[in-house]
């Protein structure tokens, strides 16, 4: 019964005290939100905390939700704000993790690149793994504004209008950021063009 | 790009981008850890309880009132309250009055000793007792007649006015019937209150009067119940009488006392009026019950000779009986 309901209907049901509706929402959106946060902040532990916090905020602010708003817009706005706050705090602490980009001006990528890897891309599996790691580094190298737009557009398949609502900027700004993000990724992955073609 | 929105046209879609997209689309999505999931659900349940719409206060109060203990308590309250109200009303109505019905002389009323004591302790009882001790006529409201002073027992003997039972109750030993004559149609008796009754013809009288007046005499009491009680049965018949205040307009020691409907019932005149006697005589004459006619006419003569001359003596049927 609940699984067939739209997100907005489930949220309205939860507003009326139906906890099962929230359970369905949690099951439906927990994984994509987690991966969005993980790709945004690049740290699993932080992503877990932020995921927990995001759904806690959904629970606490359930009364404030309006049926007219798209649930995913509301949910990803919460998640995105948490991610932005987290990255700001991290910049203030000047604490760099192994997965975090070293410097925006440094085009060499992350600290992972500095650590020598003896692993050779001997087979397709290792090629894919290498490509994915390179892609993750390239995404992490994007600015926060470009990254959030890129993640929502390419991984969550959101329309530009909805992304604009989540980010709180005009739609054209979102498109511009997306264009810049793709150009930057193209530059980052230029050395891996052949590998990308070989990828399945 | 899978979006089919109109704004998708603005998205770059060159071969390089497509090859890059093929890479990131194959990137594995990680499952979130279950840590914290239980906490989330606990918080969600707590919030859901808070979000549930509350019933209005009157709905909840009504639900509480429907619980068995509350219903039992309400029943007890109603019963106790009813008992208190009835007790209070009984106390208010329990003003001792003397019997308006004429008691046969020489018969001493014997109310229960405790009732007598209680009546004397109340101010109203003292007043009633004083009134009862005062000899004299009692004007009966509305009739313009003066009831004969009943023969009273001792001054301290106070009796509540007895309610006339609608059914005829045979009282053993309570009769004061005075046989004055008999014929084939029954025994003619004179009651202590002056009424002349032919027992056998009484029922026929009641039917006939009922037809004439439209009244139901089915429950009319012929025999008086204020006859002296000589046994426990008679006492028990008199005891449950409902106390009533004195009759309306009745002057007891010069004191006007308000009358209730119960008092109206209990304050009957001492005997039948002249009009009633005339009617009885007419009916008895029509029935050719001459002994009854004679007795009745005698009573009319004693009460009002003018009426006798004007109305009774001129009637042929009555005159035939008197010859």
Query: DSSP string spanning B215-275?
Result: ---TT---S-S-SPP-SHHHHHHHTTPPP-PPPTT-EETTEE----HHHHHH---SS--HH
Report the residue from A63, A160, A199 with minimal CB separation from B26: A199
| Residue of chain B with shortest Cα separation from A51 | B32
Identify the pLDDT of residue B252: 43
User: B78 pLDDT band (50/70/90 cuts)?
Assistant: very high
Count Cβ atoms below 10 Å from residue B258 Cβ, excluding itself.
11
- Together in a domain, A70 and A8: yes
Q: What number of CA atoms fall less than 13 Å from residue B162's CA on the CB side? A: 21
Which of A18, A48, A139 lies at the smallest CB-CB distance from B33? A48
Give the pLDDT confidence of B110-129 residue by residue, as tens digits. Answer: 555 455 455 445 444 444 44
- Number of A:B CB contacts under 8 A? 113
User: Which pLDDT score is estimated for B179?
Assistant: 46
Query: Confidence class of residue B190 from pLDDT cuts 50, 70 and 90?
Result: low
A16 CB neighbours in chain B (<8 A) are: 51-53
Task: Return the DSSP state at B55.
Answer: P
Instruction: Give the whole-angstrom CA distance, residue A164 versus residue A153.
Output: 11
pLDDT of residue A164: 95
CA distance to partner chain A, nearest, from residue B40 (Å): 7
Q: Are residues A25 and A55 in the same domain?
A: yes
* Cα–Cα distance list, B38 to A56, B33, B35, B42 (Å): 12, 11, 7, 6
B5 has pLDDT over 80: no
Strand pairing class (B178-183; B186-190): antiparallel
Q: Are residues B127 and B136 in contact, defined by beta-carbon separation less than 8 angstroms?
A: no
Do A63 and A151 have their domain in common? no
Alpha-carbon gap: A91 to the closest alpha carbon of chain B (Å):
25
Q: Rounded to the nearest 10 degrees, how much is the dihedral formed by the CA atoms of B183, B186, B187, B193? A: -130
Scanning A104-163 for CB atoms below 8 A from B yields 128, 131-132, 135-136, 139, 153-155, 157, 159-161
- Same domain for A113 and A75, yes or no, is no
Q: Please classify residue B283 by burial: count the beta carbons closer than 10 Å to its beta carbon, then call 0-12 exposed, 13-18 middle and 19+ buried.
A: buried
Residues A119 and A145 reside in one and the same domain: yes
CATH code of the domain containing A177? 1.10.10.10
Query: Where along chain B do its domains lie?
Result: 58-93, 94-173+232-271, 177-223+272-323
Q: Same domain, yes or no, for A68 and A144?
A: no
pLDDT at B263 over 90: no
pLDDT score of B80 more than 90? yes
Point out the domain boundary residue: A79, A95, A111: A95
Count CB-CB contacts under 10 A for residue A198: 14
CA–CA gap between residue A71 and residue A165 (Å, rounded): 12
- Residue B221 pLDDT class (50, 70, 90 cuts): very low
Q: How high is the pLDDT of residue B160?
A: 52
Highest mean pLDDT pick, B173-182, B203-212, B314-323: B314-323
Q: How far apart, in Å, are the Cα atoms of B89 and each of A102, A129, A194, B85, B93?
A: 99, 100, 110, 6, 6
Q: Range with the lowest mean pLDDT among A104-108, B96-100, B264-268? A: A104-108
* Contact at CB, A160 and B7, closer than 8 angstroms: yes
Residue of B nearest to A135 (CA): B24
So what's the pLDDT on residue B209? 57
What pLDDT, on the 0 to 100 scale, is given for residue B199?
Answer: 59
- The whole domain housing A85 covers 1-95
Which residue in B7, B29, B37 is closest to A31 by CB distance?
B29
Distances (CA, A) of A84 to A41, A80, A162: 9, 6, 18
The pLDDT, as a whole number, for residue B50 is 87
What distance in Å separates residue A65's CA from the closest CA in chain B? 13
Compute the residue count for chain A: 200
The answer on A154 and A122 residing in a single domain is yes
Q: How far B56 CA lies from chain A's nearest CA (Å)?
A: 16
Q: Which of A34, A52, A186 sits opposite B20 (nearest CB)?
A: A186
Cα B16 to Cα A51, A189, B25, distances in angstroms: 33, 10, 14
CA distance B28 to A54: 22
User: Do residue A84 and residue A107 come from a single domain?
Assistant: no
H-only helix segments in chain B:
15-25, 37-51, 57-65, 68-93, 113-121, 123-133, 199-213, 232-238, 261-266, 274-286, 290-303, 305-307, 316-322
Decide which of A95, A111, A142 is a domain's last residue: A95
Interchain contact, B44 vs A59, CB within 8 Å: yes
Q: Are residues A67 and A149 in the same domain?
A: no
Bridge partners of B179, per DSSP, are: B189
Per-residue pLDDT of chain A (200 residues; tens, 9 = 90+): 788 889 999 999 999 889 999 999 999 999 999 999 999 998 899 999 999 999 999 999 998 898 888 999 999 999 999 999 998 888 777 554 545 444 444 443 433 443 344 444 456 677 777 788 888 888 888 999 999 999 999 999 999 999 999 999 999 999 999 999 999 988 888 776 665 555 55
How many structural domains does chain A have? 2
Secondary structure class of A193 (helix, strand, coil): helix
Cα–Cα distance for residue pair B115/B122, rounded to 1 Å = 11
A132 and B10 in contact by Cβ < 8 A? no
Distance CA B84, CA B88 (A): 6
Q: Which residue has the tokens 């002056």?
A: B194
CATH of the domain at A53: 1.10.1740.10
> Quick one: A187 and A158 in the same domain?
yes
Query: Domain check: are A190 and A139 in the same one?
Result: yes
More confident residue, A6 or B201: A6
Residue of chain B with shortest Cα separation from A128: B23
Neighbours of A166 (CB within 10 A): 25
Are residues A89 and A154 located together in one domain of the fold?
no
Question: Which H helix or E strand runs over B76?
Answer: helix B68-93
Cβ distance B29 to A200 less than 8 Å, yes or no, reads: no
Task: Determine the distance in angstroms separating the CA of B62 from the nearest CA of chain A, rounded to an integer.
Answer: 23
CB contact under 8 A, B32 and A48: yes
A48, B36: Cβ pair inside 8 Å?
yes
Tokens of A123: 């087979």
**pLDDT on residue A136:** 85
Specify whether the CB–CB gap between A10 and A21 falls below 8 A.
yes
Interface check for A60 against chain B (CB to CB < 8 A): the answer is yes
Average pLDDT over residues B147-174: 47
The whole-number average pLDDT for the span B185-206 is: 58
pTM over 0.80: no
């Amino acid at each position: 019964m609940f699984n067939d309901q739209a997100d907005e209907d489930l949220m309205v049901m939860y507003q009326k005290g139906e906890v099962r509706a929230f359970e369905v929402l949690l099951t439906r959106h927990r994984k994509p939100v987690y991966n969005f946060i993980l790709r945004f902040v690049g740290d699993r532990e932080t992503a877990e905390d932020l995921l927990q916090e995001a759904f806690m905020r959904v629970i606490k602010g359930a009364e404030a939700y309006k049926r007219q708003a798209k649930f995913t817009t509301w949910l990803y706005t919460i998640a995105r704000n948490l991610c932005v706050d987290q990255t700001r705090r991290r910049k203030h602490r000047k604490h760099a993790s192994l997965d975090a980009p070293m410097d925006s001006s440094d085009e060499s990528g992350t600290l992972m690149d500095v650590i020598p890897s003896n692993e050779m891309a001997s087979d397709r599996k290792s090629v894919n793994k290498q490509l994915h790691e390179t892609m993750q580094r390239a995404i992490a190298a994007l600015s926060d504004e470009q990254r959030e737009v890129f993640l929502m557009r390419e991984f969550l398949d959101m329309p530009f209008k909805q992304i604009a609502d989540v980010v709180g900027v005009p739609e054209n700004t979102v498109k511009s950021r997306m264009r810049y993000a793709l150009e930057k990724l193209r530059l980052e992955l230029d050395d891996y063009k052949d590998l990308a073609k070989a990828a399945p | 790009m899978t979006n089919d929105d109109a704004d998708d046209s603005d998205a770059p879609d060159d071969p390089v981008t497509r090859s890059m997209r093929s890479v990131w689309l194959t990137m594995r999505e990680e499952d979130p850890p279950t840590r914290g999931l239980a906490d989330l659900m606990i918080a969600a349940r707590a919030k859901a309880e808070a979000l549930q719409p509350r019933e209005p206060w009157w709905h909840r109060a009504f639900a509480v009132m429907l619980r068995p203990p509350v219903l039992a308590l309400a029943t007890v309250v109603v019963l106790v309250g009813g008992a208190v109200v009835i007790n209070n009303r009984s106390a208010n109505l329990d003003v001792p009055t003397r019997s308006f019905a004429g008691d046969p002389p020489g018969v001493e009323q014997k109310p229960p000793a405790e009732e007598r004591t209680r009546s004397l302790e109340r101010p109203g009882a003292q007043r009633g007792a004083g009134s009862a001790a005062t000899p004299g006529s009692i004007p009966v409201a509305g009739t313009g007649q003066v009831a004969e002073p009943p023969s009273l027992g001792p001054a301290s003997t106070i009796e509540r006015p007895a309610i006339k039972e609608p059914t005829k109750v045979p009282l053993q030993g309570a009769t004061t019937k005075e046989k004055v004559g008999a014929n084939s149609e029954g025994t003619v008796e004179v009651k202590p209150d002056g009424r002349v009754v032919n027992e056998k013809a009484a029922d026929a009288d009641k039917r006939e009067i009922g037809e004439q007046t439209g009244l139901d005499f089915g429950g009319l009491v012929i025999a008086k119940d204020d006859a002296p009680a000589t046994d426990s049965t008679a006492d028990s018949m008199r005891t449950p009488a409902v106390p009533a205040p004195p009759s309306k307009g009745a002057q007891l020691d010069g004191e006007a006392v308000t009358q209730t409907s119960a008092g109206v019932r209990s304050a009957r005149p001492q005997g039948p009026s002249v009009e009633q006697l005339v009617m009885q005589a007419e009916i008895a004459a029509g029935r050719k019950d001459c002994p009854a006619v004679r007795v009745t006419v005698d009573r009319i003569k004693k009460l009002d000779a003018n009426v006798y001359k004007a109305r009774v003596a001129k009637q042929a049927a009555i005159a035939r009986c008197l010859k």
